Chain A
Amino acid sequence: MSAHRLSPLATVLLVLGAAVMLAPMAWTLLLSFKSNAALMADSGAAFAGPYTFENYAAILKGSLTLQWLANSLVVATGAAVGVLVLSSLAGYGFARLEFPFRRTLFVIVLLGLAVPEQAVILPRHQLFAWLGLHNTYPGLILPSLTGSFGVFFMTQYFRAIPRELDEAALLDGASRFTLFWKVLLPLTLPAQATLGVFTFLAAWNDYWWPLISATTSDYFTLTVGLASAQMNYAQTSGLGFLMAQAVFASIPILIVYIAFQKQIVRAMAGTAVR
């Protein structure tokens, strides 16, 4: 990577921007190491000791936070894996197979991009209630799998792979499945990584649907769980614990970001992933 020289002004602006972004996180981190009692007296006490791990110890002992973390992991992983499998198969189909109403179906998929979740949330709630899917993992995961974006994204990616490769594989005696599994799918790995990370993060951060679907705290995801903990004057009586929960909840996300930062940056920059 070439070293870019920034003008002093740009450096100052970037540092300021970074400071604005980092300040709340640093504040959260500081508060999480203070006892609830000390913060009840004065939240400004965060700038001075004594610091303590008691809030984190409370999370690991007894609280439901670990369960919510597990729920979030199951839901986000399930959503990511499900979306990858479905989108890859559908994308390959739309990009490479000839079947009746292919164009019409693809247009319908595209139209799906324009349907906001708010428009379908009530019927979905009723449907899931009728199916008995509320307060289950499938109930939390399934709505993520209905998104059109992944199908559209993978279709475009498959389309960008030269057809000569398919033809070479067919002449090499590959079956349709071998062609898909051994030739085309490996070439979509960069797209899979991008789509997988984004789906995971979106499911992880989702608040509204788990709020509706998970009504017993056993099935809360972290977002819903943390929000529920804010009730009942938690911000005054349990501020340190709340902040520790927030920090705790962001650790998995941090890991995903660090592990996949290349894919995330590429996807954000919109450059072709090759």
Chain B
Amino acid sequence: MRVPLSGLALIDVSKSFGDVPVLERVSLRIAPREFIAFLGPSGSGKSTLLRIIAGLETADSGEVWLDGERIDTRPPGARGIAMVFQHYALYPHMTVRENMAFGLRNAGVAKDEIARRIAQAADILEIGAQLDKKPGQMSGGQRQRVAIGRAIVKQPRLFLLDEPLSNLDAALRGRTRVELAQLRTRVDAALIMVTHDQAEAMTLADRIVILDDCCIQQVGTPAEVYTRPANAFVARFVGSPPMAMLPGVVAGEEAGRVRVRLAGGAVLATDVPAGGLVAGTEVDVGLRPEHVRLAAPGEEGLAAEVELVERLGDRTFLYARLADGAEIVALEPGFGTLRPGEAAALVIDAAAAHIFTAGGAAHHPEPSA
């Protein structure tokens, strides 16, 4: 694999803890100034990957390159990387100013340059009044800013953010999310954020790296991973509520598009190209809630029983079970009136359906021109 002269490159990175593999031959390229989110469930290896990049863990094999230089052989402090820790990891006995200066002093940066950078960062993050306070005297949000400030002053080539919003309350999280979005415009560096919160990843990242089962499942823009998930795992993991999976069998094709017979007998005329999907193949039909609605009065629909109603005010999710036992989620605008236990008729937008084969491979709808 050729190593790019700019940005970050991971080449065949593997890591296991004892007998437990955590990462298996993970390769990835990140462009300079790109904002990347590592998204995955607990134990997917996303934090380990971040820590390998930072140098806090050593990969069993593989290489890490940054701007054309191999960095996995260097100590953490010599990689041109700054990290914002989940619990901030501010030095409790030092003032904010000393916290920010610590790394620069270790690097031998001149005193007046340190003062200049701290003043600049304090200005950006609006923590000028707190510079002589200690972390213990500050609120969670302020500590978060100091942690970011400590990273900024180092003028790194790469920022690593480990679950940066997980310790903040809901209101502060929203505001900090906006600040992180602004941060990337102010720094001349790539950012990698680890998160298990897909909303964070979708709203902040240029590209999302979805990890599970020791491997990268998909790398793509938020729109790509949502509309064209690489496999059933990504399809279920991204989107809330998750995509419903209805078991069925390929019934044939019509105008080059696949028709699927659901377990309950209904036949869906999808927009998925037929290539590779032969009649008789067992598949799962993936449907997002926004592609399942309640039938209008007099309209025909699939019979289902409502099991759970999630009212969000502007919209309502209906978790229902079809007659064949498959679970499905429908979206109803406004404040729904149905209650658990009641019967509903559901209409499926078959043209939006995805098809997943037993191996997890995805087939996406491609509307004919």
Interface positions of A (Cβ within 8 A of B) = 162, 164-165, 167-175, 178, 182-183, 186-187, 189
Say which residue of A167, A173, A187 sits within 8 Å of B106 (CB atoms): A173
Interface positions of B (Cβ within 8 A of A) = 54-56, 75-78, 81-83, 85-87, 89-93, 102-103, 106-107, 150, 154
Which chain A positions have C-beta within 8 A of B106? 172-175, 178
Are B91 and A170 interface neighbours, CB within 8 A?
A: no
Say which residue of A162, A173, A175, A178 sits within 8 Å of B87 (CB atoms): A162
In the assembled complex, the CB of B22 is this many whole angstroms from the nearest CB of chain A, namely 18
Are B93 and A187 interface neighbours, CB within 8 A?
A: yes
A-B contact pairs, 5 of them (CB 8 A): A168-B91, A170-B77, A171-B56, A172-B106, A175-B106
Which chain B positions have C-beta within 8 A of A178? 106
Question: Measured between alpha carbons, how far is A175 from B103 in the docked complex, in Å?
Answer: 11
Are B89 and A164 interface neighbours, CB within 8 A?
A: yes
Say which residue of A165, A174, A182, A187 sits within 8 Å of B77 (CB atoms): A174
Which chain A positions have C-beta within 8 A of B85? 164, 167-168
Are B93 and A186 interface neighbours, CB within 8 A?
A: yes
Which chain B positions have C-beta within 8 A of A164? 85-87, 89
In the assembled complex, the CB of A47 is this many whole angstroms from the nearest CB of chain B, namely 53
In the assembled complex, the CB of B37 is this many whole angstroms from the nearest CB of chain A, namely 20
Are B102 and A169 interface neighbours, CB within 8 A?
A: yes
Chain B residue at minimum C-beta to C-beta distance from A187? B93
Chain B residue at minimum C-beta to C-beta distance from A174? B106
Chain A residue at minimum C-beta to C-beta distance from B51? A167
Chain A residue at minimum C-beta to C-beta distance from B93? A186
Which chain A positions have C-beta within 8 A of B75? 170, 173
Given contacts A167-B56, A170-B77, A171-B103, 6 further A-B contacts (CB under 8 A): A171-B54, A171-B55, A171-B82, A172-B77, A172-B102, A173-B107
In the assembled complex, the CB of B137 is this many whole angstroms from the nearest CB of chain A, namely 14
Decide: A183 near B103, CB < 8 A? Known: A164-B85, A171-B76. no
Decide: A173 near B77, CB < 8 A? Known: A162-B87, A168-B91. yes
Are B103 and A172 interface neighbours, CB within 8 A?
A: yes
Are B55 and A170 interface neighbours, CB within 8 A?
A: yes
Closest A-B pairs by Cβ, 6 of them: A173-B77, A172-B103, A164-B89, A168-B89, A173-B106, A170-B76
In the assembled complex, the CB of B161 is this many whole angstroms from the nearest CB of chain A, namely 13
In the assembled complex, the CB of B242 is this many whole angstroms from the nearest CB of chain A, namely 32
In the assembled complex, the CB of A94 is this many whole angstroms from the nearest CB of chain B, namely 21
Are B102 and A174 interface neighbours, CB within 8 A?
A: yes
Say which residue of B56, B91, B103, B150 sits within 8 Å of A173 (CB atoms): B103
Are A167 and B92 interface neighbours, CB within 8 A?
A: no
Question: Measured between alpha carbons, how far is A175 from B154 in the docked complex, in Å?
Answer: 17
Chain B residue at minimum C-beta to C-beta distance from A183? B91
Are B107 and A171 interface neighbours, CB within 8 A?
A: no
Which chain B positions have C-beta within 8 A of A173? 75, 77-78, 103, 106-107
Question: Measured between alpha carbons, how far is A219 from B114 in the docked complex, in Å?
Answer: 54
In the assembled complex, the CB of B166 is this many whole angstroms from the nearest CB of chain A, namely 14
In the assembled complex, the CB of B271 is this many whole angstroms from the nearest CB of chain A, namely 49
Question: Measured between alpha carbons, how far is A211 from B136 in the docked complex, in Å?
Answer: 48
Interface centre among B56, B78, B86, B154 (most CB of A within 10 A): B56
Which chain A positions have C-beta within 8 A of B154? 172
Which chain B positions have C-beta within 8 A of A182? 102
Question: Measured between alpha carbons, how far is A172 from B77 in the docked complex, in Å?
Answer: 5
Question: Measured between alpha carbons, how far is A131 from B186 in the docked complex, in Å?
Answer: 68
Are B56 and A165 interface neighbours, CB within 8 A?
A: no
Which chain A positions have C-beta within 8 A of B81? 171
In the assembled complex, the CB of A166 is this many whole angstroms from the nearest CB of chain B, namely 9
In the assembled complex, the CB of A52 is this many whole angstroms from the nearest CB of chain B, namely 51
Question: Measured between alpha carbons, how far is A174 from B90 in the docked complex, in Å?
Answer: 14
Question: Measured between alpha carbons, how far is A172 from B90 in the docked complex, in Å?
Answer: 11
Which chain A positions have C-beta within 8 A of B82? 171
Which chain A positions have C-beta within 8 A of B54? 167, 171
Say which residue of A171, A174, A189 sits within 8 Å of B83 (CB atoms): A171
Which chain A positions have C-beta within 8 A of B107? 173
In the assembled complex, the CB of A32 is this many whole angstroms from the nearest CB of chain B, namely 44
In the assembled complex, the CB of A198 is this many whole angstroms from the nearest CB of chain B, namely 23
Question: Measured between alpha carbons, how far is A182 from B92 in the docked complex, in Å?
Answer: 11
Interface centre among A173, A175, A178, A187 (most CB of B within 10 A): A173
Question: Measured between alpha carbons, how far is A27 from B92 in the docked complex, in Å?
Answer: 48
Which chain B positions have C-beta within 8 A of A186? 93
Question: Measured between alpha carbons, how far is A182 from B86 in the docked complex, in Å?
Answer: 22
